[in-house]
Structure 1
Amino acid sequence: MSSSTAPWIDAPLLGFDTETTGTDVASDRIVTVALVHSVGPGRANETVATWLIDPEMDIPEPAQRVHGISTEHARAHGMNAAAALDEVAALIVEALAKDVPLVAFNIGFDLAILQNELSRLGLPTLTERLGHDIAPVIDGLVIDRGVDRYRKGKRTLTDVLAHYGLEQDGRLHTADVDVSATLDVVRAIAAKYPQVAGSTLADLHREQMGWHLRWAEGMNEWLTKKGKTPDVNTAWPL
């Protein structure tokens, strides 16, 4: 990396998260989106944009328990999905076009459900708008698995925050709080692992593809041994 270029960790980042009606990217709908433009550590350096969307279907009880948004609330106060997600997609594409990386925790889920929603609504997908694959992307979960492969225990956002000794401010599973927490995690990983901070965005993107592939193949092997369907997607971020 040339010395004239600031490390990616010191440049702007665009954090991204969705809360949804469930975990099936093909049939579930997006209820909230947060995009957090971050120019440095701490909440004072963040500009937060959030969307509440009417998913035009009932929000099942388990999903309501996770994010706290009821069907009634989303119907009464939510935006039209096409209008909201068109705005979201435009802002993501604008950032990526300037080489501002899209940052999330387990981004494969959020990107897949967004792409499916855009298709369902007859809107151009992120890939169609960009004219190429979605990059550069930074996934706090994928990088944590990559740099600390053999650590025991779960890797939910709460667990990973605790592992890096980070305070959680606000209620997780509120999209903007999750994004801010993810940005904290990514900065903590970069501080602890100089090879991550010193990488170019293009190299880090490629490395995450490899880390995810290794993890997904291991999971599929384990599922096969357990007599379950090896259905973990080996492609990343989509």
Structure 2
Amino acid sequence: MSWHLGRLAGFDLETTGVDVETDRIVTACVVQCGGDQPTASATWLADPGIDIPEQASRVHGITTERARAEGRPAAEVVADILAALGQAITAGVPIVAMNARYDLTLLDREARRHGYDPLPTGPVIDPLILDKHISRRRGSRKLVDLCQHYGVTISDAHSADADAIAACRVAWRIGATRPELAALPLDTLHKQQTAWAAEQASSLAAYFRRTAGKEHLADGVRPEWPLIPHQQNGEQ
């Protein structure tokens, strides 16, 4: 059976910022859907233990005050997310994450920060990597743009639960319309995305280097996918 017809585990984080090494989880969702089974969704609100910058609050709607009042301790939330994703991996269900490099790396750093074992490696499906591989169109490729391009409804962009299920629907749509991708075994698809992600990163870095005023951005482009390796001397 093609992977897009089986069970998928959507994963999304909303965070305090965009630095995977230092920023923290604010909200999270793991949703299992498809495979002719009922949808099962788990969501979390964490007290990240640091202030949530106003810019981040404007994106996902969670203020520092609300997170402190309503959020669970960050360590508990991280443990629950790791458990939910670990169960999916053990069951052979692929993790679907839009721009997986960000979410999975930040989760990895949170796991290490709180003394947990990192998430085991399992098949990952990244709609962003797949879309860049199959489409050369110009313009933005945020999740809302992919939803529009593939005819997927997204109810509340930048909430973890809405983004997680939307990523699954985009992945399903790609599988349904690109039989050459749908036919790939999950392990093969994962390996292919690793190669495609590296190619895409190389192309982006080259673009930055030849574009006036953006040259400094080239060194920040990372080719690793779906996880940026942890550096022992990195900030904890």
Quote the Cα distance in structure 1 between the aligned partners of 2:81 and 2:59: 22
Given that residues 5 and 172 in structure 2 are in contact (C-alpha distance below 8 angstroms), is that contact kept between their aligned partners in structure 1? no
Q: How well do the aligned residues superpose, as a CA RMSD in angstroms? A: 1.3
Quote the Cα distance in structure 2 between the aligned partners of 1:160 and 1:125: 30
Quote the Cα distance in structure 2 between the aligned partners of 1:15 and 1:217: 27
SS in 2 for 1:33: strand
SS in 2 for 1:28: coil
Matches within 5 A, 1:1-238: 6-40=1-35, 45-126=38-119, 130=120, 134-148=121-135, 150-168=136-154, 170-226=155-211, 227-230=215-218, 231-238=220-227
Deviations 1:137-178 (A, max 9, x none): 000111111111x1111101111111112222x211010000
Shift of 1:40: 4.3
| Identity in percent | 40
**1:3 corresponding residue in structure 2:** none
Deviations 1:106-157 (A, max 9, x none): 011001111111111112111xxx3xxx220000111111111x11111011
Shift of 1:78: 0.5
SS in 2 for 1:118: helix
Identify the range of structure 1 (216-225 vs 65-74) with the bigger mean alpha-carbon deviation: 216-225
Deviations 1:199-236 (A, max 9, x none): 11011101111111111000111122232242211011
Quote the Cα distance in structure 1 between the aligned partners of 2:77 and 2:61: 20
Unaligned runs of 5+ in 1: 1-5
Alignment-mate amino acid for residue 114 of structure 1: L
SS in 2 for 1:228: helix
Deviations 1:46-86 (A, max 9, x none): 21100100011111011000000011110001011111111
Given that residues 82 and 123 in structure 1 are in contact (C-alpha distance below 8 angstroms), is that contact kept between their aligned partners in structure 2? no
Scaled by the length of structure 2, the TM-score of the pair is 0.91
Alignment-mate amino acid for residue 207 of structure 2: W
Quote the Cα distance in structure 2 between the aligned partners of 1:48 and 1:29: 21
Unaligned runs of 5+ in 2: 228-236
Quote the Cα distance in structure 2 between the aligned partners of 1:9 and 1:78: 34
Alignment-mate amino acid for residue 171 of structure 1: D
Quote the Cα distance in structure 1 between the aligned partners of 2:31 and 2:83: 14
After superposing on structure 2, the runs of 4+ consecutive aligned residues of structure 1 that deviate more than 4 Å are none
Given that residues 98 and 127 in structure 2 are in contact (C-alpha distance below 8 angstroms), is that contact kept between their aligned partners in structure 1? yes
